[in-house]
Structure 1
């Protein structure tokens, strides 16, 4: 039989004994300490001598940090699939993407029936399992807002809401032995999970043949189905054990070995001796044979969805296992941004700067657009595309403290600001970073960074002291005040044009608890409210930063516009905070108000990326020095036009004014407010914005503008800034590789 080319995984199959409830958990921790990859537990809900497996999985997940956890296999007749789907997704989110679902059709029907489930015939149990898989996958599929409807003979879900989406693409493995179950594995599952003790000689070969035939019939490559095996520890030597597992990997395609043991010594032996030896020998054999990795193989169904202009066979081997195509299930969770739809032909997910360089070199050789995405928020939509290549930096998400004294930290471009805030909060540190924890570090730290600590701390880019960059020609360079200083200047404001930043060094500021206020005001007098709010913000101490959002269509019963204020007082002095918040409240009739004293990390909370591209809005932006009566009335006319369904006003200024306009490529250092409007089409929004706000604004904010007309470039980079950037572009990206986000034309020699 062929080697399917799966990466080798080793784990344990542990008895969930209730005699010593902590024993299975100790073995789970030991599995991780021994360097193994997977912890699994038997599932017999009718067995009083056993702990409940799902409860045990959650307990073990909380006491481990790396291993995948799975039932082996979960008894579907006693676990309703709709509930199981939500339980698995929840545990996957809580554990950071460490759940796999091993499912079984039943067996032991007397005990199952005694627990209240109906007895099923063998054929009925297969049908019920197939329906269960359909229900589970449908509830996880949050790419559509339509409710789930599965009207099976055994499992019915009629109108259930989808979600939550798991943190990663949770694999479903089926325990199967008979042909009908094996065909279900081939058509619908991600893995086949039998136990060695139930197999006769030749069963693996025969089973693989049935699975493979069914997979091909469903348009899948057989390698899309992982082959797992619960194995019994042998009596012989380690070498004999290694020889047997190598044969199973190369001749029977087994990619995951799950050792059935409750013996700590066996667990250590597998981790320290067996697994390393098997991996080494299989790797050598595969290299000699030129085996294609399983992750790089696609069936006919997936191949048919490939986009023109992309040489899929040429994806670098280091990236092939993490490359995602339109025919892959993971594609739905990666294609879109926060509000913008995308349909890339290929998403590459490098894990380090060297792989970023490989991804970039590959993408340059393709005849399609290139997008670079940090953590995927991307309101403007330029980090995804239609039919192109997207280099997704989400795996470069490490956060580490470099120097306690200077509060210097290194942050991967693929991290999110919610995670950064969470990591820094225990030290009493923070870095201003927008208003939502799901925003990616890379996009914000190369554009500007107007955030809820902005008047106190300035812009996010003002805290960047160095950056590691992959250049257009694939070099890995460092930029700082001392190394490549001109590049360092340009990265802070126009970074998307100059390279792929893989990590930043930033200096955090001292920030303890803050007062966070959420206030709703009647905005019937829109212009008056905006003018009064802006005056209060400008007069406030730098500790106060306030953002205002307004939906002109009305946000309360009875209609009428409502302004939602999000305000941070960056100090724990509640008395001073109350005085300033009362001044904001004087801007208009207060409809609702809550204020809390809490860490900054509770304001921008971590958020996982599950973007569905809802709405595909167009956005226009502008900066103003002051929001006076003239500007406020112009905004009121925009609000009343019907062309914009959301207005947002963000206070900047304060510490951002302390930086000279030519110190960074973001030159807008005198304005106090960022204004933006969101609508459904440029056809309707642009004439209005150009007429009303164009004469009244001074500059724009790249992240909040989807207008691609050439004149916007001069708004973003005024005067000498653009001239300097064009020279920098000529030096670092003369071929204009990075042209997806407000492309700067290289200067001519």
Structure 2
């Protein structure tokens, strides 16, 4: 099919909103953060009606369809070679609907840096990932492990309603009472049911947070990692952490970012103090900063495939000696990150959303980068694969039935499959 014949059938509502190879805009729209792609066309709707028209047009082409909110996802699935990308970046409006109840409407194409900046004057925040360039739609349909995860829970736990364009072009509002099965699936498995164009999310009262940057030497026997997990397991919920294990000469450095949902350093210091004691202290700093500083607008950039990678993950309950040693062995072969979960995440019953992993307290993420590939990731992950349970879809770079079985195990998986078939019987969002 020639580009000319495709353009001849572009609906009036998409005039000037279709980008094909040769268009000067194409270079900035073709790829994701982790994957350079060559789509046949990128569509740029500006509102819900435009999304309906874009979806109809995309289906008429008979090509694979990808939906993009931000394009920062590790799997790189928000672009597609020789297919049609529906790019939601034009749907980026953010509105405080009711300050008293902290209810916020956020369109799917907004970035979390923009959300934080908009909500800051109201003294509100939404825990929402750890990078400001991440799009709202992808994160808020998969989970949302943010900087405040132990005190706030997942982003999906605070979604109160959604507006969805289904595969047949129908626009549906779903909440706990209207279309409850769609609402269940959207919160954790939303990529397979339709295009979520807007979310109503309950924010939390927060202006400032305590942030500690701590670096300690991680002992090879895993004891430092185990002590970190023990500290978090007994810590108040205000404390959430993200850890990166990095080789530094002959040693491994454990770089800890600790975020405390408190607006006084008097509260922050005693909560982070135990983290300074888990290994030989190399560096530390504590600050009180506005919440938007965690996901700043400085993060906003085009996604040009600039960070190709392959990533997998799993969850742990507790951290025994064998698990801690496996983490350290993996750190010698891949980039290993640890995220504290638990806390408010585990207050939600596992059957309430399509994210069922509600008893674990650590998320382990492994990434490799070119020239390393799948074999290198498998080798690095082999010692952890039999020790972890479940997986988080937004930190998983692979697809396929085995991955889905880890992300959506047991009855959750069966229920997700039924919802996907019901709302997208032709499987256009699962191709």
Which TM class, normalised by the smaller chain length?
over 0.9
Asked if the contact 1:626–1:673 (Cα under 8 Å) also holds between the matched residues in 2, the reply is yes
1:9-58 CA distance string (max 9 Å, x none): xxxxxxxxxxxxxxxxxxxxxxxxxxxxxxxxxxxxxxxxxxxxxxxxxx
Partner residue of 2:289 out of 570, 573, 598: 598
1:160-171 paired onto structure 2 within 5 Å? none
1:307-318 paired onto structure 2 within 5 Å? 311-318=6-13
Partner residue of 2:347 out of 635, 651, 658: 658
2:399 match: secondary structure: coil
Aligned to 1:21: none
Deviation (angstroms), 1:581: 1.4
Considering only CA atoms, is the larger Rg found in Structure 1 or Structure 2?
1
Aligned residue pair count? 427
Partner residue of 1:678 out of 356, 362, 367: 367
Aligned to 1:469: 164
Aligned to 1:6: none
Computed over aligned residues only, the root mean square deviation of the Cα atoms, in angstroms, reads 1.8
Aligned to 2:313: 621
Partner residue of 1:494 out of 185, 189, 192: 189
Aligned to 2:279: 588
Partner residue of 1:329 out of 24, 30, 34: 24
Asked if the contact 2:33–2:307 (Cα under 8 Å) also holds between the matched residues in 1, the reply is no
TM-score scaled by length of structure 1: 0.55
Structure 1 residue 707 corresponds to structure 2 residue 402 = no
Aligned to 1:649: 338
Deviation (angstroms), 1:550: 2.0
Deviation (angstroms), 1:551: 2.8
> Which whole-Å CA distance do the structure 1 matches of 2:114 and 2:279 have between them?
35
Aligned to 1:144: none
> Which whole-Å CA distance do the structure 1 matches of 2:42 and 2:251 have between them?
44
> Which whole-Å CA distance do the structure 2 matches of 1:604 and 1:313 have between them?
42
1:693 match: secondary structure: helix
Asked if the contact 2:75–2:398 (Cα under 8 Å) also holds between the matched residues in 1, the reply is no
> Which whole-Å CA distance do the structure 1 matches of 2:251 and 2:82 have between them?
42
Aligned to 1:427: 122
Structure 1 residue 412 corresponds to structure 2 residue 107 = yes
Structure 1 residue 632 corresponds to structure 2 residue 296 = no
Deviation (angstroms), 1:499: 0.5
> Which whole-Å CA distance do the structure 2 matches of 1:564 and 1:476 have between them?
45
1:491-550 CA distance string (max 9 Å, x none): 000000001000000000111311011222223536222111111111110000000012
Deviation (angstroms), 1:332: 1.1
> Which whole-Å CA distance do the structure 1 matches of 2:300 and 2:413 have between them?
36
> Which whole-Å CA distance do the structure 2 matches of 1:609 and 1:316 have between them?
30
1:693-712 CA distance string (max 9 Å, x none): 22111100111112224211
Deviation (angstroms), 1:323: 1.2
Aligned to 1:539: 234
More contact order relative to length (CA 8 Å, sep ≥ 6): 2
Asked if the contact 2:312–2:367 (Cα under 8 Å) also holds between the matched residues in 1, the reply is yes
Larger displacement relative to structure 2 (440-449 or 428-437) = 428-437
> Which whole-Å CA distance do the structure 2 matches of 1:332 and 1:517 have between them?
38
> Which whole-Å CA distance do the structure 1 matches of 2:283 and 2:31 have between them?
34
> Which whole-Å CA distance do the structure 2 matches of 1:435 and 1:618 have between them?
18
Asked if the contact 1:479–1:487 (Cα under 8 Å) also holds between the matched residues in 2, the reply is yes
Partner residue of 2:97 out of 384, 388, 402: 402
Aligned to 2:220: 525
1:518 match: secondary structure: strand
Larger displacement relative to structure 2 (461-470 or 357-366) = 357-366
Asked if the contact 1:371–1:390 (Cα under 8 Å) also holds between the matched residues in 2, the reply is yes
Structure 1 residue 721 corresponds to structure 2 residue 412 = yes
Structure 1 outlier segments of 4+, above 6 Å: none
Asked if the contact 2:141–2:156 (Cα under 8 Å) also holds between the matched residues in 1, the reply is yes
1:397-430 CA distance string (max 9 Å, x none): 0000111110001001001111111111222211
| Unpaired stretches in structure 1, ≥5 consecutive residues | 1-302, 741-749
Deviation (angstroms), 1:438: 1.1
Deviation (angstroms), 1:367: 3.0
1:409 match: secondary structure: strand
Deviation (angstroms), 1:664: 0.3
Asked if the contact 1:518–1:567 (Cα under 8 Å) also holds between the matched residues in 2, the reply is yes
Larger displacement relative to structure 2 (651-660 or 318-327) = 318-327
1:415 match: secondary structure: coil
1:594 match: secondary structure: strand
TM-score scaled by length of structure 2: 0.95
2:430 match: secondary structure: coil
Kindly tell me: are residues 502 and 705 of structure 1, through their superposed partners in 2, closer, same or farther at Cα, counting changes over 3 Å?
same
1:361 match: secondary structure: helix
Deviation (angstroms), 1:368: 2.2
Aligned to 1:579: 270
Asked if the contact 1:375–1:609 (Cα under 8 Å) also holds between the matched residues in 2, the reply is no
Deviation (angstroms), 1:451: 0.8
> Which whole-Å CA distance do the structure 2 matches of 1:563 and 1:315 have between them?
53
1:425-446 CA distance string (max 9 Å, x none): 2222111111111111101100
Partner residue of 1:731 out of 403, 422, 429: 422
> Which whole-Å CA distance do the structure 2 matches of 1:378 and 1:359 have between them?
22
Structure 1 residue 569 corresponds to structure 2 residue 256 = no
Partner residue of 2:246 out of 551, 571, 574: 551
1:240-259 paired onto structure 2 within 5 Å? none
Deviation (angstroms), 1:339: 2.2
Aligned to 2:149: 454
Aligned to 1:173: none
